[in-house]
Structure 1
């Protein structure tokens, strides 16, 4: 496989999030295979995360300062310019200086808004691949569908997280739709022993993740089982204070542990026995994939086709009705009370995650590059 020039373009590559972790994992993997990879972030993050300790890829940031708060909250609102013309011109010049010397390279555009930002730049000399890390339903309910139709239709490939999404987008006259699995960056040699009565959740503490529902569901399920289970919540965010208060109000505050950010998430999965995702909306669910790779059965809200690609109800986990704490509690209680069921589901989930291992996903990316070259 010949070395290629690959650029990943993100609106904010270093913020906390599953899609950010995915693109850094891909960049590191392609760099390890000898490709010349550059991670480009349009905006610097206000709270940058370190996803790769020793990156085998270049880094570049186009703006000198983070995006204005109003632009971050509602990027599609029209109004006064969010950046001065001089700032915009300087940022776009930086991007062109990175890409102009390259012929035969590939620009992986990680979001519709990044595609919108480069729409009028002279980048015809480089192949473009658009990615969308959310669900089709989320696109329909936001400006993203319009942007995908406008920009991705002209790219060499538009990639979505599962066949269901690709088929839905193809119905909008997008002839270049395809799927690309997100890689699971962790896959320990041995699965979790599932001996610790611990449930784990990981993600930003924001409204859509519905950690409030998870807390209520745990409080409802815990008294029904003999073992003293704990719920460990990994991550941080603006709702942390309110969620901690809610946890104590349930009467189980001593068994609901807020861990904040952790350096070694793999160890957290290996010390747990159930992984959860309680979101109202979720395009995919990296926490479910990582948990399954570590041999954990899952309880997840049936929030999207992407979630259902990772959790098959009754096979490697349990699906609950989105927004329904009682449904989530019933699924938790069933797994919490049945060790044999946890072991069987965890083993099936880990086996299914084989196709998401990084080497296999990198093979798919290199095959895509070959396809574009033809």
Structure 2
């Protein structure tokens, strides 16, 4: 069967891109016919490696558009008109966090792509795409929707749309036990197959941290969800006792200026650094002694898995709903009451002041992360495809 992934921007960074590529690369390596359809392409080169056996199709190529010279023709002028702000998307749900990135032009391109499908498997990767697959895709196509956030986090309008339209899908893939239980309750009598296939660890050679660097690392989009403002607040308390430790935050996003002002206001300019994105987080993690996850909510927390691969102990808010299924409290890291900045600072200082505990937690992390190995998670995807093929036959 042809397997097609629909994603926002496969050339970007982030947990969804990483896990989609982990899965797609594994399937391609096992002889599956895989295509990734990326609505946008905003970078010339992909942030993460893509198996050359995977076909990539881009619906809205900003890189190519930027290379076109001369006066635009009628077609180009029409497309430019469709992109103006007053012609916002009609198909993307208004509660989608990336709603403003879409337009009437992207609607047309996504709709035409979806209507072109008549067989195979379509795997969609965000709620708006899941809803569009339910509404517009030929039912001869097996529609597999991924949920990367838990149901309770979605705004009420999006929750209502999910309740109404998800039963038209064939399979819904969740990341955590809690999510699986929630969605099974919601769709218990609909026939929708809800199953958990968690994210997998990237199949890379991970250098192991020596855990002797006085460095805490964090990574993710610089947006309110990731709680880097809370992390900076916590670190302001840490430096009073451990002034020789540093915090490095990797990533980019709209909150960068606000976070930089907070660093200055807290007089942390010699202690906290916004590093921008990194193409080799494994190397950065190998130079860290603690990983800090300060998110207000998470779908999973993919970067925690990457930190575990490098033997780095973790301090994480016990936010809904992913970290508690990754971090084993008191064994490979600390789970802290969600949003409690004081307790978060105390957990950081506990590991900073205890070299033996850091090393013990790091060794446990390397052992515990094996449950997220791509060989195990990839086999679950192959099992799903086998079930689909058998049912379709």
TM-score of Structure 1 vs Structure 2, range by shorter chain: 0.7 to 0.9
Query: Which residue of the other structure, out of 28, 31, 37, is the alignment partner of 2:28?
Result: 31
Q: 1:316-366 deviations in whole A, cap 9, x for unaligned?
A: 111122222111101111111111111111222221211212222111100
Q: Which residue number corresponds to residue 191 of structure 1?
A: 208
Q: 1:25-65 deviations in whole A, cap 9, x for unaligned?
A: 22122222221111112x31556772334533111133467
Q: Which residue number corresponds to residue 44 of structure 1?
A: 40
Q: Which residue number corresponds to residue 270 of structure 2?
A: 254
Query: Which residue of the other structure, out of 131, 136, 140, is the alignment partner of 1:121?
Result: 136
Query: Which residue of the other structure, out of 92, 98, 123, is the alignment partner of 2:111?
Result: 92
2:134 equivalent to 1:134: no
Q: 1:50-104 deviations in whole A, cap 9, x for unaligned?
A: 23345331111334679877659x94269xxx755x874554333444x33xx4x
Distance 2:185 2:255 in 1: 38
Counterpart contact for 1:44–1:67, Cα < 8 Å = no
Distance 2:288 2:84 in 1: 39
Counterpart contact for 1:205–1:237, Cα < 8 Å = yes
Q: More displaced, 187-196 or 125-134?
A: 187-196
Q: 1:139-172 deviations in whole A, cap 9, x for unaligned?
A: 3x34343333333323332111111111111111
2:56 equivalent to 1:59: yes
Counterpart contact for 2:5–2:36, Cα < 8 Å = yes
Query: Which residue of the other structure, out of 249, 257, 260, is the alignment partner of 1:244?
Result: 260
Distance 2:7 2:106 in 1: 18
Q: Which residue number corresponds to residue 318 of structure 1?
A: 334
Q: CA deviation at 1:186?
A: 4.9
Q: Which residue number corresponds to residue 363 of structure 1?
A: 379
Query: Which residue of the other structure, out of 233, 238, 245, is the alignment partner of 1:216?
Result: 233
Query: Which residue of the other structure, out of 157, 164, 177, is the alignment partner of 2:178?
Result: 164
Query: What is the DSSP-based 3-state SS (H/G/I as helix, E as strand, rest coil) of the residue aligned with 1:276?
Result: strand
2:269 equivalent to 1:273: no
TM-score (norm 2): 0.83
Q: More displaced, 294-303 or 150-159?
A: 150-159
Counterpart contact for 1:186–1:266, Cα < 8 Å = no
Query: Which residue of the other structure, out of 195, 205, 212, is the alignment partner of 1:178?
Result: 195
Counterpart contact for 1:299–1:328, Cα < 8 Å = yes
Counterpart contact for 2:5–2:125, Cα < 8 Å = yes
Query: What is the DSSP-based 3-state SS (H/G/I as helix, E as strand, rest coil) of the residue aligned with 1:365?
Result: helix
**1:321-360 residue pairs with structure 2 within 5 A?**
321-360=337-376
Query: What is the DSSP-based 3-state SS (H/G/I as helix, E as strand, rest coil) of the residue aligned with 1:345?
Result: helix
Q: Report the CA distance shift for 1:186/1:199 in structure 2 as closer, same or farther (over 3 A).
A: farther
Counterpart contact for 1:198–1:272, Cα < 8 Å = yes
Counterpart contact for 1:133–1:160, Cα < 8 Å = yes
Distance 1:8 1:359 in 2: 20
Q: Which residue number corresponds to residue 164 of structure 2?
A: 150
Q: CA deviation at 1:118?
A: 3.1
Structure 2: state its 5+ residue gaps.
63-81, 97-101
Q: Report the CA distance shift for 1:218/1:38 in structure 2 as closer, same or farther (over 3 A).
A: same
Q: CA deviation at 1:242?
A: 2.4
Q: Report the CA distance shift for 1:354/1:192 in structure 2 as closer, same or farther (over 3 A).
A: same
Q: Which residue number corresponds to residue 76 of structure 1?
A: 94
Distance 1:87 1:136 in 2: 26
Query: What is the DSSP-based 3-state SS (H/G/I as helix, E as strand, rest coil) of the residue aligned with 1:123?
Result: coil
Counterpart contact for 2:201–2:373, Cα < 8 Å = yes
Q: Which residue number corresponds to residue 122 of structure 2?
A: 107
Distance 2:166 2:35 in 1: 21
Q: Report the CA distance shift for 1:189/1:238 in structure 2 as closer, same or farther (over 3 A).
A: closer
User: In the comparison of the two structures, how many residue pairs are matched?
Assistant: 359
Query: What is the DSSP-based 3-state SS (H/G/I as helix, E as strand, rest coil) of the residue aligned with 1:171?
Result: helix
CA RMSD of aligned residues (A): 2.7
Counterpart contact for 1:200–1:276, Cα < 8 Å = yes
